[in-house]
């Protein structure tokens, strides 16, 4: 049963709509649990009351055919064996790791003097974050399930204007490559049209 699909593209390219559709189709055809329900794993953090309300509305819109899980970082904590799982999205998931580790690195650098090592710290931040996410991805996808990951191709949007944006663009680009290398299928969305590229 185990399978990994990656759906990627630009903003408002139709990634989530397409992913939701194929996940529900696969879940309806799955006989493991017999209930036809899919897992919707949302990776965004709930920052405030307004955002919590948005999340609730999204869950209600999705309806009873979904098992909704809010998990900003540690997807592997959840047993999804035998299920079809939509992870929406890799961009927000990696943001959570990046900014948590970024805060730790900043705290460490306050103790040190600012010098040429700052560039090395910057590289280490991206490498350390990427390593943490890869390890969590591998733990999560070791389960016998069908995984559909949604991500963004933010590197298509031009040159980032500051250091943090450049670091995150690099991180997400490398993470997308890692997931694509392990995926059985990769779909690139353009203007709502799915293009199978792997």
Q: Write down the catalytic residue from 33, 53, 58, 78.
A: 58
| Phi-psi category of residue 130: left, alpha or beta, with phi > 0 → left and psi -120 to 50 → alpha | alpha
In a 3-state reduction of DSSP, which class is residue 41?
strand
Distance separating alpha carbons of residues 166 and 154, to the nearest angstrom: 10
Question: Catalytic annotation on 78?
Answer: no
Distance separating alpha carbons of residues 94 and 135, to the nearest angstrom: 12
**Which residues pair with residue 23 across a beta bridge?**
none
Cβ proximity of 121 and 105 under 8 Å: yes
The per-residue DSSP string of 66-131 comes to EEEEE-SS-GGGS--TTSEEEEE-HHHHHHHHHHHHHHHHHHHHHHSPPSTHHHHHHHHHHHHHHH
DSSP code of 148?
Answer: E
Cβ contacts of 192 within 8 Å, gap of 6 or more? 13, 14, 17, 18
Residues with catalytic function? 58
């Amino acid at each position: 049963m185990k399978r990994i699909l990656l759906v990627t593209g630009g903003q408002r390219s139709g990634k989530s709509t397409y992913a939701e559709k194929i996940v529900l189709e696969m879940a309806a055809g799955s006989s493991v649990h017999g209930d036809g329900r899919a897992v919707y794993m949302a990776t965004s953090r709930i920052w405030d009351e307004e955002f919590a309300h948005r999340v609730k509305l999204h869950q209600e819109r999705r309806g009873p055919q979904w098992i909704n899980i809010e998990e900003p970082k540690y997807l592997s904590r959840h047993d999804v064996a035998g299920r079809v799982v939509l992870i929406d999205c890799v961009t927000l998931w990696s943001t959570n790791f990046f900014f948590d580790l970024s805060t730790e690195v900043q705290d460490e650098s306050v103790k040190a003097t600012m010098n040429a090592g700052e560039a090395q710290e910057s590289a280490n931040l991206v490498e350390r974050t990427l390593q943490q996410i890869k390890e969590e991805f591998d733990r999560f996808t070791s389960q016998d399930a069908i995984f559909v990951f949604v991500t963004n191709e933010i590197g298509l949007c031009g040159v980032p204007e500051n250091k943090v944006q450049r670091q995150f663009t690099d991180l997400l680009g490398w993470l997308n490559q890692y997931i694509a290398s392990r995926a059985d299928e990769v779909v690139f969305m353009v203007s709502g049209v799915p293009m199978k590229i792997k």
